[in-house]
Amino acid sequence: MQKLEELYAGKAKSVYRTEDSRFLVIEFRNDTSAFDGVKKAKLDRKGEVNNKFNAFIMRRLAEQGVPVHFVELKSATESIVKSLNMIPVECVVRNVAAGSLCKRLGIQEGLELNPPTFELFLKNDDLHDPMINEYHALSFGWATAEQLAKMESLTFQVNAILKKMFADAGMTLVDYKLEFGEFEGEVVLGDEFSPDGCRIWDAATGEKMDKDRFRQDLGNVIEYYQEVGMRLGVDFN
Ligand code: TMP
Ligand code: ASP
């Protein structure tokens, strides 16, 4: 499939048209950002590491019956995906308290959440991705009740698969964010799953292995992303 003109450039990925309107090429760039684009940097090899990481996770999820937009790797930094009609609502599951939950509710970082929480955020950098609830999504037409129900059940299906996959590899999947869209009438997982959009701690030491290394200036960001991938079995060659 041919990569044609650029349709959209996000903070870390660019999206290109192909000759078939049902498919797109996404390019994972070395750009990274945090705090809704306030803090930015270019990290060597990030595009390649996240592209291959995402491909690995999407394939595992697809094998377990989760509908995903990923089709195949196109190059070290590019993948072919289905062209989704994106739903501007981000789904976050938390297995352990961290990040904005701790700030918002005064909860101690590291508290195990049983059952895990499920939260919705509006995808809008200018508004700093505010937390919303289902009524907001319905009243403002961001998603239908059917889409919201499907997004929630798929997000928990992903949790069951990935929590175990990370635990088996000596890591804790603390929290993560998923984005969905519609493809030919079906709600499908889109965007990416990489250490950019989740929190992963070493199960033995509690060491942070995800984008918090960039947010908190902990260093060796991509080395840790790669270490997470290697423990899971991602082939970075
Ligand atoms: P939070 O603690 O900042 O609310 O984020 C929870 C998890 O979701 C964390 O792993 C980061 C991820 N996330 C994003 O990657 N992008 C977003 O826009 C949001 C709201 C969360
Ligand atoms: N993904 C968002 C950004 O790039 C938020 C974050 O990761 O802190 O700014």
Whether the model pTM is above 0.95: yes
Is 63 in the same domain as 110?
A: no
Q: Are residues 66 and 176 in the same domain?
A: no
Read off the pLDDT of residues 42-77 as tens digits, 9 standing for 90 and up: 999 999 999 999 999 999 999 999 999 999 999 999
CB 72, CB 81: distance < 8 Å: no
- Per-residue pLDDT tens digits for 97-140: 999 999 999 999 999 999 999 999 999 999 999 999 999 999 99
Last residue in a domain, options 48, 82, 116:
82
Q: Is 202 within a domain? A: yes
Shared domain check, 183 and 123: yes
Task: Please tell me whether residues 134 and 167 are part of one structural domain.
Answer: yes
Residue-averaged pLDDT of the chain = 98
Q: Verify whether ligand 1 is closer than 6 Å to residue 82 (CB atom).
A: no
In a domain, 152, yes or no: yes
C-alpha 126 to ligand 2 mean position (Å): 12
For the CA of 12, the nearest atom of ligand 2: 4
Is 235 a member of any domain?
no
**60 CA to centre of ligand 1 in angstroms:** 22
Q: How far apart are CA 43 and CA 33, in angstroms?
A: 10
Answer yes or no: do 91 and 40 share one domain.
Answer: no
229: in domain: no
How far does the centroid of ligand 1 lie from the alpha carbon of residue 104, in Å? 13
Q: What is the pLDDT of residues 202-221, one digit of tens each?
A: 999 999 999 999 999 999 99
Same domain, 43 and 98: no
Between the CA of 40 and the centroid of ligand 2 the distance, in Å, is 9
Does residue 97 share a domain with residue 190? yes
pLDDT of residue 136: 98
Residue 180 inside a domain? The answer is yes
214: its two tokens: 């960039």
Are 122 and 195 within one domain? yes
Edge to edge, the sheet with strand 85-86 lists 85-86, 180-183, 186-189
Do 61 and 137 share a domain, yes or no? no
- What's the length of the chain? 237
Residue 23 lies in a domain: yes
Q: Residue 27 sits in a domain of what CATH number?
A: 3.30.200.20
Hey, which of 31, 32, 33 would you mutate to test ligand 2's pocket, going by the most ligand atoms within 8 Å of its Cβ? 33
CA distances from 31 to 1, 3, 83, 95, 132 (A): 25, 20, 23, 28, 28
Q: Are residues 120 and 202 in the same domain?
A: yes
* 99 and 75, same domain (yes or no): no
pLDDT at 229: 98
Q: What distance lies between CA 192 and its chain's CA centroid?
A: 4
pLDDT at 19 (0 to 100): 98
Show the domain range for 74: 3-82
Ligand at shortest distance from the CA of 130: 1
What's the confidence (pLDDT) of residue 167? Answer: 98
Query: CATH code at 146?
Result: 3.30.470.20
The total number of structural domains that make up the chain:
2
CA 80, 215, 157, 145 torsion: positive or negative? Answer: negative
- Specify if 102 maps to a domain: yes
Is 231 domain-assigned?
A: no
Half-sphere CA count of 224, side-chain side, radius 13 A: 19
Does the pLDDT of residue 82 top 90, yes or no?
yes
Kindly report, residue by residue over 153-173, the tens digit of the pLDDT: 999 999 999 999 999 999 999
- Residue 36 in this model has a pLDDT that exceeds 90: no
Mention every residue, 6+ apart, whose C-beta is less than 8 A from residue 182. Answer: 84, 85, 87, 147, 188
